[in-house]
Amino acid sequence: MTSTETAVAQRGPTRSRATTILGGVVLIGVAVWLFLAFVASGPDIRTTAEGNTIGQFDAVRLLYIHVPLVITAYSAFVVTAIGSFMVLVKKSVWWDLVAGASAEIGSLGAALTLLTGSIWGRPIWNTWWEWGDVRILTTLVLFMLSLGYLAVRRLEGTAEVRAKRSAVVGLLLVVNVAIVNKSVEWWADQTLHQNSTIAEGAIADLKAFTLFFSIVLGLAAYSWMMIHRFRLAWLERQYDRFGIDDAIAARRSEADHAQPVTQGESA
């Protein structure tokens, strides 16, 4: 057995004690989160001074997944940008893999942000899609740009060339998101989107805590995915670099075993 195979057989491809614990904590967190979001916290119903009932009612529960998703997605792309920058400065492979792993999770997060936002928008704004909203459009373009980035990562070339090329696109991603955000803001003139629900104080007590808890949980889940995805990428890279050597070594040892040896010696 080669060294890589031994490691894989001993503890699984990307698992370690720390990630097992982190994964367990996230799983328990999901259970607590579901309890908080669906059972413990109530629907958003407020009464105005005139006695009218307003609020988001049960749709407020969607915020407990929408908000952590969007925060996780944008954080992930910040990590991608930092990683891309470090690749160009330090010519580091480690950062390249970090940037790539983070962008994959980020695009998933961006896609799910758009999906959950759309589901939330249907009862609250009475539309699946709102063209006048800056944040929706920015997130959509970010998602598209991230797909382009991931496509560039898959282009052929040596590891160093690919790392550099991806790093340039990764850094441009941030520049582009900033331009798109500004121009769409200008274009749409106004935004339908809520201001930060927390900052406005529209949400309080247990609802605020649930939202806060969900954000922490989202970032923890991101870390867990990130570590596994990074380790997988690392193994892939090791395999690309040493796979041939390992295969040759395995062949050699087979040839050695083919020699007439006694049972005791081969063990």
**In the block, residue with structure tokens 């980035």:** 149
Stretch of 98-106, 121-129, 164-172, 200-208 contacting other proteins, by CB under 8 A: 164-172
3-state secondary structure at position 22: helix
Binding to other proteins by residue 155, rule CB under 8 A? yes
Q: Which residues contact 56 (CB under 8 A, 6 or more apart)?
A: 43, 44, 63, 123, 124
151, 159, 248, 250: which one contacts other proteins (CB under 8 A)?
A: 151
Residue 171 vs 220, nearer CB to other proteins: 171
Binding to other proteins by residue 165, rule CB under 8 A? yes
| CB contact at 8 A, 116 and 69 | yes
Stretch of 3-11, 144-152, 246-254, 256-264 contacting other proteins, by CB under 8 A: 144-152
168, 216, 247, 249: which one contacts other proteins (CB under 8 A)?
A: 168
Site string for other proteins, 40-79 (x = CB under 8 A): ----------------------------------------
Distance in angstroms (rounded) separating the CA atoms of residues 71 and 197:
13
| Planar angle of CA 111, 114, 109, nearest 5 degrees | 35
What residues form DSSP beta bridges with 53?
47
Closest distance between other proteins and the C-beta of residue 159, in Å?
A: 11
Residue 34 vs 155, nearer CB to other proteins: 155
By CB atoms closer than 10 A (0-12, 13-18, 19+), residue 170 is buried
Nearest to 98 by CA among 4, 240, 228, 217: 228
8, 108, 172, 192: which one contacts other proteins (CB under 8 A)?
A: 172
Residues from 81 through 100 that contact other proteins (CB under 8 A): 88
Stretch of 19-27, 124-132, 138-146, 201-209 contacting other proteins, by CB under 8 A: 138-146
Distances in Å between the Cα of 90 and the Cα atoms of 84, 87, 102, 111, 226 are 10, 5, 19, 31, 21
Closest distance between other proteins and the C-beta of residue 89, in Å?
A: 12
Query: At how many degrees (to 10) do helices 205-258 and 93-124 cross?
Result: 140
Closest distance between other proteins and the C-beta of residue 105, in Å?
A: 20
Binding to other proteins by residue 186, rule CB under 8 A? yes
Binding to other proteins by residue 184, rule CB under 8 A? yes
Closest distance between other proteins and the C-beta of residue 84, in Å?
A: 12
Residues from 195 through 214 that contact other proteins (CB under 8 A): none
Nearest to 166 by CA among 219, 102, 227, 223: 102
| CB contact at 8 A, 46 and 55 | yes
3-state secondary structure at position 120: helix
Interface ranges with other proteins (CB under 8 A): 88, 141, 144-145, 147-148, 151-152, 155-157, 160-161, 164-165, 168-169, 172, 175-176, 179-180, 182-184, 186-187
